Amino acid sequence: MKKSVLATFIMYSALTMQAQEIILASGGNATGSGGSVSYSIGQVFYNTNTSTEGSIEEGVQIPVFKLKFTNGSWLPMAPSASTGSNEVFVIDGIYTVTTDVAVKDLDLSSGAAVVVEPNHTLNINGDLTMNSISNSFSSLVVKGNAPVAGSSIYHRYVNAQLNRNDLITPPMDGQSWSSFLNNNSSSNASALFTNGLTGMSTLYLFGPYEKGSTDDYLIYSNSTIATLTAGKGYRAATNTATINGNGETLTFEGSVLTSPVNVDIVDDQTGNYAEWNLVGNPFPAYLDITEFLNHEVSPGVSNLSLLDANSAAIYGYDGDDTDGSFWTITNLVEGPILIAPGQGFFVSSKNVSSQLQFTSAMQVAGSSDDFIADRFSSTNTTGLKIKLQSAENNYTTSLYFNDNTGLGLDPGYDAAMYGTEAPAFSIYSHLVEDNTGLPMAIQAFDNTDISDISIPLGINASQGTQLNISIEDANLPETISVYLEDNQNSSFTLLNTTDYTFAPNENLNGTGRFFLHFQYSVLGNPESIFKGITIYSVTEQQQIVIKGQLTQNTTFKLFDVNGRLILSTDLDKNKLSQYIDTSYLSKGVYVLQLLNNQQQLTQKMILQ
């Protein structure tokens, strides 16, 4: 006996132009390609078979059901161990696998994620397909060591040649260059930018960074014999279909890695970039940068400790020099917090030879951009960016205050510019202590040093160029004033409120002329006997003013930056306002003290 069910069909184009939603009006059983299926009144299935004309009958082979995850919910039901014939689409959000799951095919949209918890398996009988766009990548996080069965495909977005190329790495393992280029299921050969013909070979803008006397990129041809190695970085570029330079996706096929991946890095001590190595994220998931840097490769040896101390950071190529540099530098205080799937980047090796390690424990779900997105590290991090700008160029340098750092070199917190060379137009800092002359792109100091340091700033710019120096981004206490010193003009500019604009009468190159100073605007500790005392300088009258009620006999002392005592005078505790003449003092940075029998209070002061 046949049992028919009425059904309502609604087109659902987000999955496929042919997919249809079927809402069942009565219950029963039907035999499909995946076996016997039970259904209830109102249950929703998805299929592409339009010949049913509104009904599903017992004994009829029904199409594979489409399961969709969106807005945190499943339609019509969640995958399970018995759904091995179903096609599954994760449209958005994060689907967490907390039980054994079997599916026919699994498709992840750009920005969507699947997380497989430990001790559970994701069995894919057909294909795993992952997608990406220029600023969002799908991710598969496998927290355990259980392999993901089935054929895995990642459609990885790659920047166009017109938009200055890209650095990538295979997010799958085990594919040869020939298979990658010629696979019938992809159009990699047509998507890749071709660099002309050499004899009978076609050259493609794709290849690794070769160490040696040249330290340069290789260019693969259609006759190149090579294997695309997970964790190894490659330069690549696609064709440009539109005038704005948007790229295309390249299709990688292989297996999903769940075991640790070791990647060789070297300092071959030859060439201009002897210590630099192009590596990449070998997983089809985002990586937590802090976890990667701090990961112990062996007892007492972290990935961070294997990097050159001056540039112990991740150097991501962002393809955009509107900020003066093509590099987004990421360490423990600045930069993106995630590395996108299949993202390549440069690191510098401290040793002649060592191995970085990538592990599945570093994997996280995400949906963010790659290194193109540069942002202030955290609102919980004290620091600022100083910007140098002309009519045609701009450049920034970063300064942070962190309890884990000091005035010298702090690997993981301080980072030199890529290649340890400053561009012709740039601003940077030098280390306050143990300065070796390297231009620092990022420098961090201890929080206790915030009012006790003078930071050398380097500027490279051409003679006669109108320059503007400003604070671009800052997270500082409201009581901190930031002063730029130009010792050639004997000037101090409060950058909190005013930009410094000038045109140099000679080419600028290096440090020595400009320094950055920090000053607390109010002297006093609410819990001390100096509560209510305010000290400030008045430029017009050339005076230091002390205002407030002193409760004890107090001495005022003033020192220069070399620690030499300039003046000492006793203050009158019966006066609410007292004035110190500074007309005979040179402009510059001084240290003042208030002392009595119980307490001493020290503060930096800038006289203009």
The C-alpha atoms of residue 589 and residue 585 are separated, in whole angstroms, by: 11
What pLDDT is stored for residue 21 in this prediction? 44
What dihedral do alpha carbons 449, 454, 455, 457 form, nearest 10°? 160
Higher-pLDDT residue of 161, 527: 161
Average pLDDT over residues 305-332: 89
In degrees, to the nearest 5, what angle opens at C-alpha 112 toward C-alphas 106 and 115? 70
pLDDT at 563 over 60: yes
- Under the banding of pLDDT at 50, 70 and 90, the label for residue 241 is low
pLDDT of 185 above 70: no
Task: Indicate the class that CATH gives domain 534-607.
Answer: mainly beta
Range with the poorest average pLDDT among 199-208, 313-322, 419-428: 313-322
Q: How confident is the model at residue 535 (pLDDT cuts 50, 70, 90)?
A: confident
Is 515 a residue whose pLDDT tops 90?
yes
Residue 93 has pLDDT above 50, yes or no: yes
What lies within 8 Å, CB to CB, of 43 at 6+ separation is 23, 24, 27, 76
> Does 196 score more than 90 pLDDT?
no
Mean pLDDT is lowest, of 237-241, 518-522, 531-535, for: 518-522
292-313, pLDDT tens digit by residue? 999 999 999 999 999 999 999 9
* DSSP structure string for 176-229: EHHHHHH-TT--HHHHBPEEEEETTEEEESEEEEE-SSS-EE---BTT---EE-
Which residues sit opposite 87 in a β-bridge?
Answer: 66, 105
113-169: pLDDT as tens digits: 999 999 898 999 889 999 999 889 999 999 877 778 777 999 999 999 988 899 999
Q: How far is CA 1 from CA 4, 5, 29, 252, in A?
A: 10, 13, 12, 50
- Check pLDDT > 80 for residue 597: no
pTM over the 0.85 mark = no
pLDDT at site 52: 37
At residue 347, the pLDDT reads: 97
Contact between 415 and 442 (Cβ < 8 Å): yes
Residue 17 above 70 pLDDT? Answer: no
33 or 511, higher pLDDT: 511
pLDDT digits (tens, 9 = 90+) for 37-89: 454 444 444 443 333 333 444 434 444 578 999 999 998 889 999 888 889 99
Over residues 568-588, the pLDDT tens digits come to: 999 998 898 999 999 999 888
Rounded Cα distance between 593 and 520, Å, is 14
Average pLDDT (404-430) is 94
- What residue segments make up the domains of the chain, in order of their start? 1-63, 382-520, 534-607
Residue-by-residue DSSP string for 126-181: SEEEE-EETTEE-EEEE-SS----SEEEEEEEE-BGGGT-EEE--SSB-EEHHHHH
Residue 242: per-residue pLDDT:
58
For the cut 60, the answer to whether the pLDDT of residue 443 exceeds it is yes
Instruction: Tell me what the mean pLDDT of segment 501-518 comes to.
Output: 94
More reliable by pLDDT, 216 or 1:
216
pLDDT value at 376 more than 80:
no
Q: What is the pLDDT of residue 377?
A: 45
pLDDT for position 528: 53
Question: Is residue 373 exposed (0-12), middle (13-18) or buried (19+ Cβ within 10 Å)?
Answer: middle
Burial class (CB in 10 A: 0-12, 13-18, 19+), 480: middle
Residues pairing with 80 in the sheet: 102
- For residues 171-196, give the mean pLDDT: 86
Given this model, what pLDDT does residue 162 score?
87
Task: Identify the burial level of 202 via C-beta atoms within 10 angstroms of its C-beta, where 0-12 means exposed, 13-18 middle and 19 or more buried.
Answer: middle
Q: Return mean pLDDT, the chain.
A: 83
Instruction: Provide the pLDDT for residue 137.
Output: 95
Q: Residue 184: what pLDDT?
A: 64
- Answer whether residue 175 shows pLDDT above 70: yes
pLDDT above 80: residue 8 = no
What pLDDT is stored for residue 380 in this prediction? 62
Mean pLDDT of 477-484: 86
